[in-house]
Structure formats: structure tokens, C-alpha cells
């Protein structure tokens, strides 16, 4: 099967390391970093080294302790006792293995007032230089002290969770299950750290990248903002990351040129700015930072004013790949309704989504919606029995199984039972919440850790929309394309999404230049057919931006007018893009 898939693939030209290229100041290695900070400090008496959660703290503390020949103040020593922090965060962690509740805490809540007060006094009265390292270091030093920030993307943090390498905010939870570590990050720590970081952007003098252990890099404030401002004025891509899955396939290995020795790759997250990285290529040296920094700093220019007014500093559109070519079915699942997700988890909106078929093999299919006439009570009871291991759930009895072809589009508003079947390559277009999948049935399959994956029949039973039956699916959720405009060498089609969803999607098929306008919303696109295309500004406001097959790219709302045309290997040939934006 793998060889059949491989021979059907086009030559890989997918760029796994997209970067914004700028000139600026960058140094590498701890010796050079410390020397650069010393030169900038001059006679200053205080230095705060802020850490995002997930940084290898010991590496940073040692570098600054050795480099400045002093004992640094570790902010963990100033926080409340761990049992008190565990109790304080319990209501947001909850007792669930997967799901928590969005925190209302802030970083100051973690600090013991007496310890913090004594540390502030010690820093002010110290005869020599005081170096404070850790999350919240800036809370210890005077307002005019130098601040250095060691940042970290959530995707790398998740890899460290899996290896049980990093502590949580104020808690040593390295022995916890990976799902519990992720839950603490997602519902609590990351939100607290992002709010704190958002308050520091104008104070930070240097930014340090430690994504690769032992190979730190540092840029100064001017270089950081040069990269941010350059990125938000042009089309750009975040750094994609790939992950295996119990159902994973083989398609991305060839198209995205991935490690052939791995058993499979099921996921590619190529537009999840809260978790992805950005690369700045500074005079030929790659510097990595969380792409959420761009969202926090330039939300209005990036998202568009109406979108920012609605979503704040959340990037609302997510693109990712689900590869089951040569793999298996995804878990049968349902996403919660908006009301349920608000009441249960404190999230403002739910994970509505759609499946766009990038490719489909023989026998490809999608399970979506419920068969007309089924008894809901019977289905839930059978799911419960299957969860208990008493029966094998008969999905064909209850759920529509629809053949899938390349370039089909299935719309999946919250409450719709669904999953992609084997032999499918799905571009999943969804709203951003990326944790809220209630698995109903997992085909008697174990996770990659050899354990059963968590099933949520009871939660699912509260959100399934039983009216989404066979007739509803055909009338509303499957291949509802309609032409909205055309011209010489191009055609634009509306592809959805469902009226319940806030994302609009359009497909453009073209052999010549197509004119676009962001319309006041961030645009997210993928080149779903054709080898190469180029995005250009009619006024020359940004340099031509080349994209390759299967690459997702982002057009900031502030760009306004832009064009896309076939390019390079596709010059004179037909290309196709799918575009998503927020409806007003």
C-alpha cells in the first residue's frame, strides 16, 4: 500500500522552515549572549531574566550564574508553597483527565507576598548586581531595570511534556500524565504567561531563543520589532509541525518530505498560531519565537479591526492536515455546542470545522451525521457498552458513511457526529479551540502510548444534534459549492461553511492572475492544487511571496489588495486555493 501511495505523489517542494528574512543583531552561544548583556547593562544594578513556562530553567540559571559570577535569585523560591498553588489552581484543573476550566488567575497570585517583598528589598539594597531569573522576574526588580525574555513556543513545550522534562508554573508536575501536563498548560499556565508577557513587550531589551537545548540565540529589541513589523505587512507562514497518530498515514511523508523511517504521520499543524513558531532569519541565522507574539503585539493589523473586536487577541482560524492515506479511521467524535463549551470549560466559542479533501485513495470515505430513523437511546447505550468492552460498536448502523473524493468538502458544525475514514488526506479548516473533541468510539484501538484513548460518551451525549440525519447532511453539509464570480482564467466558488459557523470559505480555480482583498479580516489560504503560486501586491507593498503545493499561508488583514497567480512549475497550468476568513 505504501509503495502505491508513494508512486502517486508529486515531487515534494513543501517548505518546512518558512522564515521572515531581516537584517539585525543576533548572537549565538551563552558566552556571547552574556557578553552582549553585560555590555548593554553598563553600571545598572538589576537584571530580570523572564522565562516562559517550559524553558529548561537549569540551563538558563547556570548560564547567568556562571556568566555573572553571582548567585541568581530564582523566582520559584519566591512563590507560594506548592500545596497552596495546587489548591489555588484546583478549580481550573478539575478532576478530569483531559478538560479543565479557563483560569481567572494572574501571575501575581502565585507569589508569596512576604517572600516577594523581602526579595525586592534585597535587590534594591544589594551592593552589586542582582540577577533574578524565572517566570515573574520582572515583578522583583525596579520598573527601570533591564529585562531579558527567554521565550518558548507551545509546540516545543508539548514535546518536553512527553519527555517529562519541565515543571509547570509553581508546581513540579513532571511525573504527571502528559494529558494532565497539557491540561495545566492549556487552561492555566499558558494563559497566565501570555497575559504577563503582553505587559512586558515594551520593557524587554533582549529576546533569547532556547528551543534547541545548548544552542541559545539572542536578538535585541530593535531586531525583534523589525521582524514583527516585517511579518505583519506581508503574506507569511508559521512553522509547521508534524506528529504521528494511532490512525496516521503515509501521504505527508512524501509531499512534505518527512522522515521515512517513522511509522506514520497523522497530523500537520500548519496554522495554529497559539502553538506554532515563527522564524526570523536574521542575516542568515534562524531565530525561533512563538507565533502568538505576533498575535499579541499586532492583533489589529493581523486580524482586522472587526475580527479583533470580536475575538480579542485570539487567532480564530485553524488549518491542519489529517493523513489517513495508508492508515485508519479517526475516532468517531463530536464537538460541543457553544453553550456547552462556555458553561463547562469557560471557552467563548466552540470548535466548528470542515474537512476539505486534499487527496483521496480507493475506498476513501467520511462518517458524518446520523442515519435517518435511528433511536438515539439505542446508540448511546451501544456506545456505553462499547466503552465498557461489552460489544464492538456498529458505526455503520448509526452513522452515515459517505464516499469521499479529492476536492470534496464536508461541513461539520458543532454537535455533528463525524470522523474521516481511511485513505483520506484532509485539510481541516476550523475555529481555533483545538482540545474539545469528545471521542465516542475508537475502533478498539490503543493510543501511541499503548493505552486506551479517553472516550467521552457522556459528554458527547449532551451535545449530539440528533436532527443532523441523512437528509440534513445531503442538504446542508456535503459539497455545497456555488459559483460567485468568474473571469478570464479564473473561477471563485463559495464552499461554505455552515450558517452556524463564523468562518467563510472560498475556492479559486485559476490559470491566470486572481485579485483578492482581505475585506477587513485575516485570510488563511492553502494551495490545494498546483505546484507553485505567487502572491503579489498590486502596489508593490510587499515582495512577491511564493507558495508551494499543500502550504498554508496567512494574509494579514492590513494587506488589503493582493493577487495570486500560477508560478514557476505551474506557470500556464491550473492551480487551486482554498481561502478562509471571518464572516461579519
Do 148 and 111 share a structural domain? yes
Whole-angstrom distance, CA of residue 404 vs CA of residue 80 = 55
Give 309-322 pLDDT, tens digit per residue.
999 999 999 999 99
Q: What is the CA radius of gyration of the chain?
A: 25
Do 421 and 569 share a structural domain? no
Strand partners, 554: 236, 524
Could you list the residue range(s) of the whole structural domain that residue 352 is in?
326-476
At 93, which helix (H) or strand (E)? helix 82-93
At residue 434, the pLDDT reads: 65
Whole-angstrom distance, CA of residue 186 vs CA of residue 314 = 14
* In the block, residue with C-alpha cell 547556570: 62
Give mean pLDDT, residues 468-491: 96
Q: Apex CA 391: angle with CA 448 and CA 380, to 5°?
A: 90
Do 202 and 186 share a structural domain? yes
- Chosen domain end from 409, 442, 476: 476
Residue 317 and residue 274 in contact, taking contact as beta carbons nearer than 8 Å:
no
pLDDT exceeds cutoff 60 at 3: no
Q: How many domains does the chain have?
A: 3
Give mean pLDDT, residues 130-158: 97
Q: What is the CATH number of the domain that holds 500?
A: 2.60.120.10
> If you write DSSP's letter for every residue of 96-156 in order, what string do you get?
-SS--------GGGGB-HHHHHHHHHHHHH-SS-EEEESTTGGGTS-TTSEEEEEE--HHH
Give mean pLDDT, residues 120-148: 96
Maximum CA extent, the chain: 80
Do 90 and 207 share a structural domain? yes
Do 211 and 113 share a structural domain? yes
Whole-angstrom distance, CA of residue 293 vs CA of residue 232 = 11
Strand partners, 504: 581
pLDDT exceeds cutoff 90 at 199: yes
Give mean pLDDT, residues 313-337: 95
When pLDDT is cut at 50, 70 and 90, the band that residue 2 belongs to is: very low
Do 486 and 472 share a structural domain? no
At residue 1, the pLDDT reads: 46
At 514, which helix (H) or strand (E)? strand 514-517
- Chosen domain end from 432, 459, 476: 476
pLDDT exceeds cutoff 80 at 52: yes
Whole-angstrom distance, CA of residue 498 vs CA of residue 509 = 22
Strand pairing report for 285-290 and 418-420: unpaired
Model-level pTM? Answer: 0.95
- Structural domain contains residue 71: yes
Compute how many other C-beta atoms are within 10 angstroms of the C-beta atom of residue 107.
21
The pLDDT > 90 percentage for the chain reads 89
When pLDDT is cut at 50, 70 and 90, the band that residue 583 belongs to is: very high
Strand partners, 481: none
Q: What is the CATH number of the domain that holds 218?
A: 3.40.50
When pLDDT is cut at 50, 70 and 90, the band that residue 7 belongs to is: very low
Do 501 and 411 share a structural domain? no
Whole-angstrom distance, CA of residue 153 vs CA of residue 136 = 18
- Chosen domain end from 476, 507, 541: 476
- Average pLDDT score over the chain: 94
Amino acid at each position: 500500500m505504501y509503495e502505491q501511495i508513494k508512486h502517486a505523489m508529486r515531487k515534494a517542494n513543501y517548505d518546512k522552515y518558512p522564515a521572515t528574512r531581516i537584517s539585525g543583531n543576533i548572537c549565538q552561544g551563552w558566552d556571547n549572549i552574556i557578553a552582549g548583556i553585560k555590555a548593554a547593562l553598563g553600571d545598572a544594578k538589576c537584571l530580570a531574566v523572564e522565562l516562559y513556562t517550559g524553558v529548561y530553567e537549569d540551563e538558563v540559571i547556570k548560564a547567568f550564574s556562571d556568566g555573572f559570577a553571582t548567585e541568581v535569585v530564582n523566582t520559584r523560591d519566591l512563590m507560594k508553597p506548592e500545596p497552596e498553588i495546587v489548591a489555588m489552581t484546583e478549580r481550573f484543573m478539575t478532576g478530569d483527565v483531559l478538560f479543565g476550566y479557563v483560569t481567572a488567575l494572574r501571575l501575581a497570585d502565585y507569589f508569596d507576598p512576604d517572600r516577594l517583598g523581602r526579595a525586592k528589598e534585597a535587590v534594591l539594597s544589594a551592593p552589586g548586581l542582582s540577577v533574578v531569573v524565572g517566570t515573574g522576574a520582572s515583578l522583583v526588580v525596579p520598573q527601570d531595570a533591564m529585562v531579558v525574555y527567554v521565550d518558548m513556543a507551545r509546540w516545543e513545550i508539548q514535546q518536553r511534556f512527553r519527555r517529562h522534562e519541565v515543571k509547570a508554573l509553581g508546581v513540579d508536575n513532571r511525573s504527571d500524565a502528559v494529558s494532565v501536563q497539557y491540561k495545566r498548560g492549556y487552561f492555566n499556565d499558558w494563559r497566565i504567561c501570555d497575559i504577563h508577557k503582553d505587559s512586558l513587550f515594551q520593557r524587554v531589551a533582549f529576546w533569547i531563543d532556547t528551543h534547541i537545548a545548548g544552542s541559545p540565540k539572542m536578538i535585541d529589541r530593535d531586531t525583534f520589532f523589525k521582524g514583527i513589523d516585517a511579518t505583519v505587512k506581508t503574506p507569511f507562514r508559521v512553522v509547521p509541525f508534524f506528529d504521528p497518530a494511532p490512525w496516521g498515514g503515509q501521504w505527508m511523508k512524501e509531499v512534505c518530505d518527512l522522515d521515512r523511517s517513522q511509522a506514520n504521520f497523522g497530523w500537520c499543524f500548519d496554522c495554529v498560531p497559539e502553538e506554532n513558531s515563527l522564524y526570523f532569519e536574521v542575516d542568515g541565522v534562524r531565530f525561533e519565537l512563538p507565533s502568538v507574539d505576533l498575535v499579541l503585539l499586532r492583533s489589529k493589523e493581523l486580524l482586522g479591526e472587526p475580527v479583533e473586536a470580536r475575538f480579542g487577541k485570539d487567532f480564530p482560524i485553524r488549518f491542519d492536515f489529517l493523513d489517513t492515506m495508508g492508515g485508519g479511521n479517526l475516532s468517531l467524535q463530536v464537538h460541543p455546542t457553544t453553550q456547552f463549551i462556555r458553561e463547562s470549560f469557560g471557552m467563548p466559542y466552540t470548535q466548528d470545522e470542515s474537512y476539505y479533501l486534499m487527496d483521496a485513495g480507493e475506498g476513501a470515505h467520511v462518517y458524518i451525521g446520523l442515519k435517518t430513523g435511528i433511536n438515539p437511546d439505542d446508540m448511546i447505550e451501544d456506545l456505553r457498552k462499547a466503552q465498557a468492552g461489552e460489544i464492538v460498536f456498529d458505526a455503520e448502523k448509526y452513522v452515515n458513511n459517505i464516499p469521499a473524493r479529492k476536492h470534496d468538502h464536508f461541513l461539520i458544525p458543532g454537535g455533528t457526529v463525524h470522523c474521516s475514514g481511511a485513505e483520506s488526506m484532509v485539510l481541516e479548516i476550523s475555529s481555533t479551540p483545538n482540545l474539545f473533541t469528545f471521542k465516542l468510539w475508537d475502533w478498539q484501538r490503543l493510543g501511541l502510548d499503548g493505552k486506551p484513548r479517553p472516550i467521552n460518551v457522556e459528554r458527547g451525549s449532551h451535545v449530539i444534534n440528533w436532527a443532523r440525519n441523512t437528509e440534513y447532511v445531503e442538504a446542508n453539509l456535503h459539497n455545497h459549492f456555488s459559483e460567485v464570480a468568474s473571469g478570464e482564467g479564473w473561477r471563485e466558488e463559495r464552499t461554505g461553511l455552515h450558517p452556524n459557523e463564523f468562518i467563510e470559505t472560498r475556492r479559486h480555480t485559476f490559470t491566470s492572475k486572481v485579485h483578492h482583498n482581505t475585506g477587513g479580516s485575516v485570510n488563511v489560504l492553502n494551495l490545494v492544487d498546483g505546484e507553485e503560486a505567487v502572491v503579489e501586491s498590486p502596489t508593490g507593498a510587499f515582495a512577491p511571496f511564493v507558495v508551494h503545493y499543500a502550504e498554508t499561508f496567512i494574509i494579514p488583514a492590513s494587506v488589503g489588495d493582493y493577487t495570486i497567480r500560477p508560478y514557476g512549475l505551474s506557470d500556464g497550468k491550473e492551480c487551486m486555493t482554498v481561502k478562509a476568513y471571518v464572516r461579519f
